[in-house]
Structure 1
Amino acid sequence: MNRRKLTALFIVLLTPLFLYPEEIRKETRIFAVKDQQELKMDIYSSCTSSVSAQPCLLFVFGGGFKEGTRDAALYTDYFRYFADKGFQVVSIDYRLGMKGQKAPGIFNNKPLQHAIALAVEDVYSATNYLLQHAGELNIDTSKIIISGSSAGAMTVLQADYEKRDHRETTRVLPDGFQYAGVIAFAGSVFSKEGTPSYDTAPAPTLFFHGSKDKLVPYNKTRFFKLGVFGSKSLAKRFKEQGYPYTFYTMEGIGHDVSEYPMTEFLPEIEQFIRNFVFDKKQWMLEIYLKDKFRKSDTSTDPGSYYK
C-alpha cells in the first residue's frame, strides 16, 4: 500500500474519534426522602476511568421554585461538556416551595423565604450524600462546585452564603467543608440583614446576569434591611472585600441569561473554574457584554410569571 492510500486509511479510521464526543455515563440515585418525596440525583461522568479523584459540579435547576426538572434538555450541553472534561456532574431534585403560591414581593416574602430554605436544605443533603460516597463516586471533596440557573442560582448563592456564615442549617455538613466555587446564572441572595456580609470569605463566584432582568433583580429589591440582592449588589460587596469573582453583565438582556450561557459560554465557564478554583487566582473581573444581534424579552416579572 502506498503512502497516499495509507494516509487516507488513517484519516478514515480516526475521523470518528474527532466527530463523536466521548460517551457519557448517567447514573440515577436517591439521596434523600423528604415530605414523602424521593429526591434524586443524576450523576454524569466520562466512561474513561480516572485514577485520581475528580472535581464535582453540582447543578440546581431553575423554574421559580414552582416548576422545572433536573434533567431538562436545555441543560444537556452543560452536563456533557463538563463530564467530558473530567468532572463528575451531579444534577439534583429539590422540593418546590413556590408551587401554588402568589407572586413574591417585599411584603409577601415568606413563601419565597420558605422555598429558598427548602431548596438550600436539599442542596446540603445532596452535598452530604456526595461527601459520604466520595470514594465510590471518585469525587475530590475539596473541589465541589455548586452551580444553578434562576431559582437554582439563588439557591447555590444562598447555600454558600449560609455556609460561610455558619448558620444552623449548615450543621448537616462537616465543619471544615466549604464549597470550592459557585456559578450562578441570574441569581440572588435573600437577606434580612442588608447586603450580605460573609463571616468567612465566600467561594470564588462566577456571576452571569442580564441588566434588564425583572424576575430576579440584577441589582437589588429591598425594604430597609430586608431584600433580595442580585448579582450587581453581590459583586459590589465582593469587590469591596477583595473576594475573587467574575461578573458578566449582559447589557439590555432580561432573564434569558439564566439559560443561554450554559450553551454559549462553556469555554469561559471552564476557564473560570481553572483560574479561580484550581489555580486559586485572586482576581476580581467584571465584563460588560453588549450583543447587538441578541433579542431579549425583558417583560417577564414576578407578577406575570406566578399566575
Structure 2
Amino acid sequence: MRPVMATAVVNGLLIGLAALSLAPLLWMLSVSLMQPGEAAHFPPPLLPSEPTLHNYRELFARAGLGRHLANSALVATATTSVALLLNTLAGYAFAKLEFGGRERVFRTMLAALVIPAQVTMMPLFLMLKQVGLVNTYAGAIVPGMAGVFGIFLVRQYARSIPDELLEAARIDGAGEFRIFVQIVFPLLRPIVVTLAIFTFLTAWNDFMWPLIVLSEDDLYTLPVALASLSREHVQDSELMMAGSVVTVLPVLLLFLCLQRHYLQGLLAGSVKG
C-alpha cells in the first residue's frame, strides 16, 4: 500500500472513531435544546425543531442547579489544591530524601493500589462519623486529599531531578523546604499540571462517595443532584440532557484547554521514571 493511501486510510479510521465518540455528546446537546417532550417522538429527532434554552432556565430557576454547581466547584478545587500539596511533598520525599524504611513503605503503598476503593468506603465513613465530618464539605474532600497513584506519579518524575542540583543548594545553606519550593516544585510543573487535571476530573465526576457522605440536598454535588433530579423528572429527557451538559461541559473545556500539558506530563513521567 502506498504511503499516501495508507495515510488516508488511517486518517479516515481516526475520523470515524472521533465521530462515534462525539455522537453521544452532540446528541445530548441537541436534546437539551429541544422543546419539552420533543425527544419522546418516534422516530427521535436528531435536531431541535425550535432550539430553546428553556430547559437550562428550568434547571437553575426551579431545580437550583446553580448551588450544586458551586458545590462541585468547591469540592473539586479544594480536593485538587490539597492533593497537589500533599502528593508533591510525599512524592519528592520518596524520590530524593533518605529515611529509614523508605522503600519498604513505598512498596506497601503500591500494594494498596490493588485494593478496590469501594472496600475502603465503609471504614472511611465510620472514621469520618467519629470526628463529625459526615454531611460536610470536608467529608467529601478527605478521600481525594492524597492518593497512592498521585504520590507514585510525582515520585517517578522527581527521580529525574539531578542529585547534584539539590546538593549544591544544600551546600549554599538552603533548607529542605526552600529547596522544594524554589527548585523542585518548578521542575515538577509538567507532572503537577497532569496530576491537577486528573485529580480535578476525578473529584468533579465522583458520584459514589458524595452520595454516601452527604445527606442534605443543599450540599449535593452535581452528579448526585442530577441523579436525585432524575427520580422526579424521569420522563423529562430534555431537562436531564440539559443537566448532563452542565455537568460535562466545564470539565470537557478544562481538559481540552490543558490536554497538551496533561499528555506531556504523562509521557515525560513514563520516559524519565
TM-score of the two chains, using structure 2 as the length reference = 0.26
Higher relative strand content: 1
Q: Which is bigger in relative contact order (C-alpha 8 A, separation at least 6)? A: 2
Answer with 1 or 2: which has the greater Rg.
2
Higher relative helix content: 2
